[in-house]
Amino acid sequence: MTRARSAAAVTAAVLVLALCSALTVTVLRARFPVPPASGVRATGAALLQAPWTATLPEPGRKPPAELMRDALGCTPLFQWATASRAVPRGQVTVAYAVGAPASHAVVVRGIRVVKGPRLTVPRGDDVGCAGSYGDERVRVLPEVGDKRVSPVRLSLDAGATGERAVLPVRAGGSAGGMVSVTTSSCTCAWWLELDVEEDGKRVTVRVDDGGRPFTLAPSVTTPLATPADEALEGPRPLSRAFGDPRPTRAGVSVAALLLPKEQSWEAESDTPQDPASAVGAEAALSGVGCRRMYASVLKGGGVPAGDHRLQLEISGPARTEGAVLDARVRLESVRGDAGERHRYSCAPAGVDAHEPYERPDINRNLYPDTLHALGPFPSGSLKYDPDWTPERGVGKSMPLAVDEEFAFSEGAAEGSPGAAGITAVIGPEQATFGFTVEVTVILPTGEHAEFTLSDHGKPFLLGPGTTKLSASHQVDLHEARDGPYWR
């Protein structure tokens, strides 16, 4: 009798589980309907395209500190935020790929965005990127002649939700494109549907985020980036606690960024690394491999090395003349065992990564080993001292600009701030330095704005090049100089 009751209980439990599973599938299909199956398959992925801002879904979670380093750029933060289901704000660009069966070709005839259920407004930390940036994966998308295919622009609000888009896909092959989706009012789930012609019939193929809908919410009310951040030539990762504004002083904002040479990258690390293994298949697109080498060493705890550009951007009242800038690079730390660390460089074939950085348009040069600075101010911050050692420079400064008059440009739009900026080459030769940038801006009205600039709260770090080092561990990588990057 007991066994019979047990068997009956098990049977009942199985039936309940089966019923629950069936109900769950029914509910999910009702909320996120899937078009009928066909031989065509499609995938989609969000891209890091400007402007990118997203909000983490739950409060209290912050991006890992190791991702918030200017030298890493924005890709690691974007990848982490995407994996953490951060909700993009205002706009998101998605790349999609369509695969045809081996037996026949297909043609995509149209594309539309489908708005799903409304979602709860995210209340976590905001993350984003400022400056100049983009997603290297865009390079594998199709070209027409020498022009990259532009994204189809669709909206979750009233407006264009679909567009004719002809995309032939050969049998057994794949093709892809991009879609930019915007909203100003909807915190929503959404997905794409492709109208595909297959064997003379029209089928609908869904594009989503690995089986889940994509998400999107209206733009944040207070931008993460200051106008000076946005003017930077390189990418800067940003994060901010929910609702925490990023104030300016006297209507002025200032940003500094350390940038590698245009065609070569150097880095150093305490531990041996294998940057070649981190490059990935896209290294065939020249320019990608070296940047990935650089980023992989930095993600492993390394620091940039060799000559770098120090870019200083200032924003303030547009069309204002007679402002005065005073800026200095203050040495915060020094480390002298550079020759014993593991050193890595990468450059296109035929380019020497260790050549000095020479830019005719840059007339400011900083030499932290001897605390000298050359530029449009009294040259040489110290007299020659044969007993000088880099360690003696800690706590001292090199001039970047000394009571230098400048003017703010006209704003990009009516009411927007103007901009100004200076650039210097900084080149350690023997030691690894930590430094901050101290800036004072005086407006013609007499208002002062003072800033101490750093790499997200920590000093910028920069190691020496190899020219004057006897490096014990040096690895030089090269990549082919061809492909769309070098055109």
The whole-angstrom separation of Cα 89 and Cα 179 is: 15
Question: What is the DSSP code (8-state) at residue 124?
Answer: S
Query: What pLDDT is stored for residue 22 in this prediction?
Result: 34
The whole-angstrom separation of Cα 213 and Cα 207 is: 9
pLDDT along the chain (487 residues), means of 10: 40 34 35 55 90 92 91 93 96 92 91 93 93 73 50 82 83 89 95 91 92 94 90 93 65 94 91 78 61 88 94 95 96 93 89 84 92 80 74 94 95 88 95 98 94 95 89 84 44
pTM: 0.83
Query: What pLDDT is stored for residue 221 in this prediction?
Result: 86
Beta carbons within 8 Å of 365's beta carbon, 6+ residues apart: 373, 374, 375, 424, 425, 426, 427
Strands (E), 388-431: 397-406, 418-426
Residues 460, 295, 70, 350, CA torsion sign:
positive
Residue 329 near residue 435 (C-beta atoms within 8 A): yes
Angle at 229 between CA 219 and CA 67, to 5 degrees: 80
Strands (E), 91-157: 91-99, 106-118, 126-131, 143-144, 147-148, 152-155
Angle at 80 between CA 312 and CA 156, to 5 degrees: 90
The whole-angstrom separation of Cα 114 and Cα 110 is: 13
Q: How many helices (H) and strands (E) does the chain have?
A: 4, 29
Structure tokens at 54: 């997203």
Structure tokens at 21: 């599973």
Residues making up the chain, counted from first to last: 487
Cis bond before residue 51 (omega within 30° of 0): yes
Residue 397 near residue 329 (C-beta atoms within 8 A): yes
Question: What is the DSSP code (8-state) at residue 389?
Answer: -
The whole-angstrom separation of Cα 100 and Cα 50 is: 31
3-state secondary structure of 18: helix
